[in-house]
Chain A
Amino acid sequence: MRFFLLALAFLGLAPMAEAQQRTRLTVYTALENEQLQPFKQAAEAALRDIEIAWVRDSTGVITARLIAEKANPRADLVWGLSVFSLLQMEAQDMLEPYTPRGAEALRPNMRSARSPMTWTGMDAFVSAICFNTVVAQQRNLPRPSTWQDLLDPRFRGQIVMPNPNSSGTGFLTISGWIANMGEQGAWAFMDRLHENIQQYTHSGSAPCNNAARGEFGVGLSFDMRSVTLKNQGAPIDIIVPTDGVGFDLEATAIMRGTRNLEAAKRLADFTVSRTAAELYGRFYAMLALPGVEPTVRGYPAEFAQRLVNANFAEIAAARERLLAEWQRRYDGKSASR
């Protein structure tokens, strides 16, 4: 009888005890809204004693918050943030060096070169063209398949792209051109493209959102953006240009100064696992972990070959200079159109 009561008490208390032990990790992220729930569920299922509390915002806002909080970090972990932001934070000594278990298996250009690593990649997202087919028909716009196609005078005043000084997506786009055409070539290309640009927006998703609404014919943005819009019935095609696209990594890092280092390390281990990679593959076509087949649809088979060969550290180091040069060339000009 006594044993029975004890067992009962144990059974009753066990879930409570587990609930008490669960460590709450604050995770800052720039992932899409619809990714948050599946990622949280998968991680909490794999690590029963860890609870994830998301703080999600756009890349720029989250990075500015992290840097402003530098003296007393509130985030335990960053999961799903642009590698350029992480490199900037690495330069300010904000990342905890730790090589997650299994991280060596990641593609070498998709993880930190340091030992121990400061960040690990999850997947790549690429700059892409959002092309409104209805507007194209109305205004007789040809369907572009390369970046060079955008220089066609028929696109004059039809193209919208993010201002790289306001948006990470904008910087991703120009860094891809620089990696692909060389710096001189890229500036020459942008000089001509500038003639066709209707507007440089402050938000990275605005060009695609506005192209979907038919405000403009062509929006330069990134590939993930268009999925949500298409599902709502927007007549847009997502075009990944064949002449080399810039890409950015979504990556993970532990914040130096976290109050839950052990738990954060275990979550970091999970983020490079096969289970996690399969999850990323539901949304992205290019994964950091080789050998995992992405299940996302709508990407060309030879997609991986279109990615330019990017050296993130080099681009990140040149960022200030490139942004200043871009501003000098294009931002000082008045909106004549």
Chain B
Amino acid sequence: MTKFALPFQDSVRPKASADETALRMIHILGFLFLAVALALPLGSLLLRAFEDQHGAFVGLHNFAIYVTTPSLIRSAWNSIWTAALTTLVVIPLAFAYAYGLTRSCMPGKWFFRAVMLLPIFAPSLLPALSLIYLFGNQGMLPWMMDGGSIYGPWGIIGAQIFYCFPAATIILSVALSTADGRLYEAAEALKASRFRIFFTVTLPGAMYGLVSAAVVVFTLVVTDFGIPKVIGGQFNVLATDVYKQVVGRQDLNMGAVVGLVLLIPAILAFLLDRWALGKKSATLSGRAVPYRPKPRAVRDRPAFLLCLAIALALTGIVAVAVWGSLIRFWPYNLSLTLDNYDFARFDAAGWQAVWLSIKLSLLTAIFGTAIIFILAYSLERGPRNGVFLAPLRFLATIPLAVPGLVLGLAYIIFFNATNNPLEIIYGTLAILVLNSVVHFYTVCHLTAVTAIRQLDPEFEAVSASLHVPVWRTFCRVTLPICLPAILEIAVFLFVSAMTTVSAVIFLYGPDTKPASVSVVHMDEAGQASAAAAMACVILAISLSAKLLQLSVNGVLGRFTSAWRR
């Protein structure tokens, strides 16, 4: 459908030139933004891979050392199989959950929508602590480990499944939320079985979302070092290898080498994304009748039970951490106390860190959502022949594959250079905001693209033939239809900025220490209960943001997507 609509649209569109110029300008601005905030910092760090520590050029010498490291192959293999196994578990679970949310008439959907994000509402230390309280050597359910240890690949996979579930579910529920009801009516009229409808209508419609979600989960697991660091024991993965080089040995040059190796998944992801793009056609055409699921017990009951089981598992893990924040000392003094919330006792920044995090997250959500959505729109609906298109798409998929640690160091090296005019933002809140927007760019970009691709380009074509400028179509049609996805992105950015550690730990200044960093510091200082308490405060704030979004969604939905009902 896309292939057919586009040449048509280009040939008759009377205002094409003005619109095209505007969208091309956005391409250029977007390219400049990603170049300054992503490509140049990364480039300046990765150049170090070819230098020794005094800055002399040594060619491939560092790479030669790296490939002869005995544990390299093992780390790479460990990274790949844990990531693959996590993906294989997460995607079906997330698909079933998203399916229940969007294609069933089960009760309590709003509850399931809020609960699915619990894992990313708190720093990754929280699930790690919970898993130790549950399955560790002093845990409440050690029999579930069957004599095995939580410290190792199974702990990593368990925590990663918990942690990656929301990202996959967000992408898949956006992919499944818009469908053309006519296809289902036609299929039913032709007496196709439920099974057949699922495989010939539903699945192809969600194909792009499935590929994106799988790519996102795989890459998240490969690049995250927080979970393997805390719960992985000496099970080496590529991300902990970067940690060892940079934080353990302070060898930035070798760190840059491993960082480069970790970019390989990003390049594969980019190719896969291009491939999925070729297979994709718009599912919601201008003539579409929105699909509305009708109550059907055979589907709704199992969907409800499955979602309930997942939701209980997620809340259970969080509940253990909340309890952990209220006890004096695990596991020897389980009396309850609120002292752990008096943060000034444990960390000089105290509650100030929480206010700073809120400010950081609000700014990240506001600027990030605007930049990411407008840029995604211009990529999807702008001229198809610009020189900036391919680089923009590529840059948008990179951040996912860059470990936070590498991004943080890259920011130091680029923004702290004496000849960089942007040096003034170094050490301020601004650099933390910029870093957070870029760090979480990819998942938001994919969500935006998935939402926009589900709208037929005919919307623009019709508007253009009616002499309506593209910005007005954007504001009057695209924004309202995509509003749920936009709010989703804003909240995702907000909670990610609330919980992020790996990049900002290198960038905060004396007055800009975020709460998530305090959590790590308190845990390192042996104050696990206080760390859990701060994590719970972060969780409560994130949860409030999510509940706010859901109620806004409910109110707005009545005005903006009345046509869907």
Chain A interface residues toward B at CB < 8 A:
26, 32-33, 36-37, 53-58, 60-61, 63-65, 67-69, 71-72, 74, 85, 88, 92, 134, 163-167, 198-203, 205-206, 208-209, 212-216, 225, 228-229, 232-235, 320, 323, 327-328, 331-332, 334-335, 337
Interface size class of B (residues with CB under 8 A): 35 or more
Name the interface residues of B514-538: CB closer than 8 Å to any CB of A: 521-529
Please determine whether B526 and A235 come into contact, CB atoms closer than 8 angstroms: no
Is B196's beta carbon under 8 Å from chain A? no
Please determine whether A228 and B510 come into contact, CB atoms closer than 8 angstroms: no
Interface CB pairs A-B, < 8 A, 10:
A26-B510, A54-B510, A64-B247, A68-B412, A199-B234, A200-B234, A202-B248, A213-B138, A215-B138, A228-B525
Binding site secondary structure of chain A? mixed
- Residue ID in chain A nearest B426 by CB atoms: A74
Set A74, A213, A323: member contacting B331, Cβ < 8 A: A213
Contacts of A74 in B (CB 8 A): 416, 426-427, 509
**B252–chain A nearest beta-carbon distance, Å:** 6
B316-337 Cβ-contact flags toward A at 8 Å (1 or 0): 0000000000001111110000
- Residue ID in chain A nearest B409 by CB atoms: A68
Q: Give the residue among A36, A167, A209 with the most B Cβ atoms within 10 A.
A: A209
Chain B interface residues toward A at CB < 8 A:
53-54, 69-71, 74, 132, 136-138, 149, 151-152, 229-230, 233-236, 240, 243-244, 246-250, 252, 328-333, 346-348, 409, 412-413, 416-418, 423, 426-427, 505-506, 508-511, 521-529
Q: A203-B229, A335-B152 are in contact. Are A214 and B510 (CB under 8 A)?
A: no
Please determine whether A215 and B505 come into contact, CB atoms closer than 8 angstroms: no
CA distance A88 to B250 in the complex (A): 9
Please determine whether B348 and A54 come into contact, CB atoms closer than 8 angstroms: yes
Q: A55-B510, A209-B526 are in contact. Are A166 and B248 (CB under 8 A)?
A: yes
Contacts of A60 in B (CB 8 A): 247-248, 250
- Residue ID in chain A nearest B523 by CB atoms: A209
Contacts of A235 in B (CB 8 A): 332
Q: A201-B233, A202-B229, A327-B69 are in contact. Are A55 and B509 (CB under 8 A)?
A: yes
CA distance A70 to B313 in the complex (A): 47
Please determine whether B417 and A71 come into contact, CB atoms closer than 8 angstroms: yes
Contacts of B523 in A (CB 8 A): 209
- Residue ID in chain A nearest B508 by CB atoms: A55
Contacts of B328 in A (CB 8 A): 232-233
CA distance A60 to B409 in the complex (A): 13
Contacts of B506 in A (CB 8 A): 61, 64-65, 68
- Residue ID in chain B nearest A209 by CB atoms: B526
Q: A54-B348, A64-B246 are in contact. Are A335 and B137 (CB under 8 A)?
A: no
Contacts of A56 in B (CB 8 A): 348, 521
Please determine whether B525 and A334 come into contact, CB atoms closer than 8 angstroms: no
Set A61, A65, A208, A214: member contacting B138, Cβ < 8 A: A214
**B502–chain A nearest beta-carbon distance, Å:** 10
Please determine whether B525 and A72 come into contact, CB atoms closer than 8 angstroms: no
Please determine whether B234 and A332 come into contact, CB atoms closer than 8 angstroms: no
Please determine whether B243 and A166 come into contact, CB atoms closer than 8 angstroms: yes
Please determine whether B329 and A233 come into contact, CB atoms closer than 8 angstroms: yes
Contacts of B151 in A (CB 8 A): 198-199
CA distance A33 to B152 in the complex (A): 30
Q: A37-B348, A69-B416, A228-B527 are in contact. List 9 more A-B contacts (CB 8 A).
A: A33-B348, A55-B508, A64-B247, A68-B412, A69-B412, A72-B417, A164-B248, A166-B243, A332-B71
- Residue ID in chain A nearest B517 by CB atoms: A57
CA distance A198 to B250 in the complex (A): 26
Please determine whether A234 and B525 come into contact, CB atoms closer than 8 angstroms: no
- Residue ID in chain B nearest A59 by CB atoms: B247
